[in-house]
Amino acid sequence: NIVLSIKTGATEAFDKLPTQLLTILQCADTLLLFSDLDQDIHSLHIHDVLSRYDPDFLAHHPDFELYRKQKEYQAEGRDIHTLSTMKDSNSDWRTAGHNAAWALDKYKFLHMIERAWELQPDKDWYVFAETDTYIVWRNLVQWLQRFDPSEPLYLGRGEPMKKEEGDGFYFAHGGSGFVLSRAAMYHFCVTKKGLASRWDARIPDLWFGDYVVAKALKEELDLNLTSAAPMFSGHKPMSLPIGTGIWCRPVITQHHLRSEEVQNLWMLEDEFYTNPSSNTLPHIRFSHLFRDILSGVIFPELRSEWDNLSQDSIYTI
């Protein structure tokens, strides 16, 4: 009774989605795909979640220049992927260096949540992730059994926004994935019907979409984040901060994986669950990632200012 929503963009969808569809997304009984352009991939529809913004806003706001270009390219049969190099028109120092697709992304989140309920109402759990997120589905399902979906819950790996919101405010990092319970979704989409549209005018002044979600949940529902760290991780295997704090924890999500890394992790997971003689534990843990991936890596010799990501005061190799 879990709905999995994958957020993507038209400039990247056909580069990243195929590998996910052939691997981890096979596990999801109810899968929704959300983007900034209506498209189809095989038998699945990718829903444009920006289409319900005010038409005048869509036609004239500078953040939506890419959105307008994508529609032109689609109508003319041109290669939409080439628009991935289009620069962000916003000169804000907080978003400097990002492309137009990244700038457009923050406008998707609230409407994605609303559309997920509209398409699949009254499910227990709503999981939101991205096209470079790896989800260990068995671990996720097992972990969610600890919680009650009739309680309003917002689960994910927390990031602080101390300067903007003060101490104690955290948003769930979108790339690591986040989860909303049935009760939280009901309050968001039914009790507060029209919430996403009411926030449309505020989003240009906010940094990024996963922060927008947390801010809206706090202001509208008085709902705070429940931490899912370190099981929900913003790292991929090669950059994991391995240590005793996570060694025995189950791996639920990883982030920033290239397609070939998704495939490699999928093969590792398949071996883990189909070859019981190699493992006596019920689920993949971070220790397995080290054993099966990192332990075989030949690290470079010590170099000047080389960072091994250690958080200790004394670094040793």
What is the tens place of the pLDDT at every residue in 18-45?
Answer: 999 999 999 999 999 999 999 999 899 9
DSSP 283: S
β-sheet bridge partners, residue 33: 6, 46
Q: Which residues have a Cβ under 8 Å from the Cβ of 224 and sit 6 or more positions away?
A: 154, 168, 169, 170, 217, 218
- 37: CATH: 3.90.550
Same domain as 254, residue 221: no
pLDDT of residue 279: 61
Same domain as 149, residue 76: yes
pLDDT of residue 227: 96
Same domain as 220, residue 248: no
Domain membership flag for residue 314: no
Q: Are 252 and 231 in contact (CB under 8 A)?
A: yes
208, 227, 246: which is the final residue of a domain? 227
Same domain as 204, residue 274: no
Same domain as 143, residue 251: no
Same domain as 274, residue 150: no
Cβ-defined contacts of 292-300 (< 8 Å, 24+) = 292/268, 293/237, 293/238, 293/264, 293/265, 293/268, 294/237, 294/238, 294/240, 294/242, 297/238
Pick the closest to residue 144 from 198, 176, 180 (CA basis).
180
Distance in angstroms (rounded) separating the CA atoms of residues 102 and 89: 11
Q: Which residues have a Cβ under 8 Å from the Cβ of 129 and sit 6 or more positions away?
A: 4, 5, 6, 7, 135, 175, 177, 253
* C-alpha distance from residue 228 to each of 119, 147, 223 (Å): 26, 12, 15
- pLDDT of 294 above 90: no
Domain membership flag for residue 303: no
- Tell me how many degrees the CA angle 221-225-228 measures, rounded to the nearest 5: 150
At 291, the pLDDT band (50, 70, 90 cuts) reads confident
Q: How many helices (H) and strands (E) does the chain have?
A: 12, 12
201, 227, 253: which is the final residue of a domain? 227
Same domain as 253, residue 200: no
Same domain as 27, residue 126: yes
Distance in angstroms (rounded) separating the CA atoms of residues 158 and 183: 21
Domain membership flag for residue 169: yes
Same domain as 134, residue 257: no
Domain membership flag for residue 310: no
Query: Dihedral of the CA atoms 182, 187, 188, 189 (nearest 10)?
Result: 80
Same domain as 47, residue 148: yes
pLDDT of residue 295: 64
Q: Are 243 and 262 in contact (CB under 8 A)?
A: no
202, 227, 252: which is the final residue of a domain? 227
Total-model pTM: 0.91
Domain membership flag for residue 306: no
| Biggest CA pair distance of the chain | 61
Same domain as 216, residue 185: yes
Same domain as 274, residue 188: no
Burial of residue 263 (CB within 10 Å: 0-12, 13-18, 19+) is middle
At 297, the pLDDT band (50, 70, 90 cuts) reads low
At 145, the pLDDT band (50, 70, 90 cuts) reads very high
Q: Are 39 and 182 in contact (CB under 8 A)?
A: no
Q: Which residue has the tokens 């993507």?
A: 8
Quick one: which H or E segment has residue 154?
strand 154-156
Tokens read off for 285: 């843990």
Domain membership flag for residue 60: yes
Domain hosting 249: range is: 237-296
Domain membership flag for residue 291: yes
Distance in angstroms (rounded) separating the CA atoms of residues 181 and 178: 10
> How many CA atoms lie within 13 Å of 91's alpha carbon, on the beta-carbon side?
0
Residue bearing the bigger pLDDT, 169 or 317: 169
The DSSP annotation for 68-126 comes to HHHHHHHHHT--GGGGGGPBPS---GGGTT-BHHHHHHTTTHHHHHHHHHHHSTT-SEE
Task: Report the percent of the chain where pLDDT is more than 70.
Answer: 88
Domain membership flag for residue 212: yes
Question: What's the domain count of the chain?
Answer: 2
